[in-house]
Amino acid sequence: MIVAERKPFDEIKAMVSNYRKVLTVGCGTCVAVCLAGGEKEVGVLNSELKIARKIDGNPIEVGAATVERQCDMEFLAELDPIIKDYDAVISMACGAGIQFMAERYPETPVLPAVDTTFIGVNRDVGWYEEKCRACGSCVLGMTGGICPVTMCAKGLFNGPCGGTNNGSCEINDDQPCAWYMIYERLAKQNRLENIIQICPANDWRNQTPRTIVQPAYTDRKAAVN
């Protein structure tokens, strides 16, 4: 899932300082699971805003809504009837959802309440770890299911570097060395030949905005264009 962190309150408060009536919109998918921008977090943020602005003698009126997915126009459409009632929208979705919301309502300022952080996993309640950088050329088949682009601080394709320290990365003793783990896992699976071969320079496919149209839907897209 996409993992996000809520922005510090003061930053959010500063962004809405010029608005009197604001709609805070949560997203019911990834950011709800990682406890950053779901229905509950919308309620918490709105309470904080109301109290802070009241103390400042500049009260704010806040609305709350949470849609299933802000990265889907079908769900955003639920907001169409109410959006014009507000001076601005605070989106608690990931960067994709925030941008789709801003695209749907181009006349309304849409402001981010979270920092989108990574594609990761739920290690335990409230504990998330980054696993994928969406480089677009997956090598997990070669590396025993451990991503060197994400998990190696230098993103090496032919590691480990000389900084491996008792199985840890040179940047931090608490960070395991990705290539040490790759070696150990492949050794156990008798697949070390995978990494005896030189892995050639990566084809970075995340350097321009990407669009995917599944083959079955190319006609549909052409019709839109």
Partner 1 sequence: MDEPKSGSNLEKILEAGHFAFTGELGPPRGTNVEAVRKKCAFLKGNVDMVNVTDNQTAMVRMSSWATALLLIEEGLEPNFQMVCRDRNRLAMQADILGVCAHGVNNILCLSGDHQQFGDHPQAKGVFDIDSTQLIGMVKKMRDEAKFLGGADIDTPPKIFIGAAANPFADPFEWRVYRLAKKVSAGADFIQTQCVFNMEKMREWVKRANDMGLAEKVYILPGVTPMKSIGMARYMQKKVPGMDVPEEIINRLKGVEKKKVADEGIKIACEQIQEFKEMKGVAGVHLMPIEWEHKVPEIAERAGMLPRPTV
Residues in the site for partner 1, rule: CB under 8 A?
153-167, 170-171, 180, 183-184, 192, 196, 198-202, 204
Query: Which residue lies nearer to partner 1 by CB, 68 or 184?
Result: 184
Q: How near is the Cβ of 182 to partner 1 at its closest, in Å?
A: 10
Q: How near is the Cβ of 188 to partner 1 at its closest, in Å?
A: 12
Q: What pairing do the DSSP bridges indicate for beta strands 88-91 and 21-27?
A: parallel
- Give, in order, the Cα–Cα distances in Å from 35 to each of 24, 69, 181: 15, 15, 30
Query: Which residue lies nearer to partner 1 by CB, 131 or 154?
Result: 154
Select from 91, 70, 95, 112 the least CA-distant residue to 3: 95
Q: How near is the Cβ of 175 to partner 1 at its closest, in Å?
A: 10
What is the rounded distance in angstroms from the CA atom of residue 25 to the CA atom of residue 66? Answer: 5
Q: How near is the Cβ of 159 to partner 1 at its closest, in Å?
A: 7
Query: Which residue lies nearer to partner 1 by CB, 72 or 115?
Result: 115
Q: How near is the Cβ of 171 to partner 1 at its closest, in Å?
A: 5
What is the rounded distance in angstroms from the CA atom of residue 24 to the CA atom of residue 83? Answer: 11
In the DSSP assignment, the letter for residue 199 is P
Query: Which residue lies nearer to partner 1 by CB, 64 or 192?
Result: 192
Select from 151, 152, 140, 154 the least CA-distant residue to 194: 140
- Give, in order, the Cα–Cα distances in Å from 201 to each of 113, 114, 158, 204: 38, 34, 10, 9
What is the rounded distance in angstroms from the CA atom of residue 201 to the CA atom of residue 150? Answer: 16
Q: How near is the Cβ of 71 to partner 1 at its closest, in Å?
A: 26
Rounded to 5°, angle at Cα 71 from 66 and 74: 75
Query: Which residue lies nearer to partner 1 by CB, 74 or 193?
Result: 193
Query: Which residue lies nearer to partner 1 by CB, 145 or 167?
Result: 167
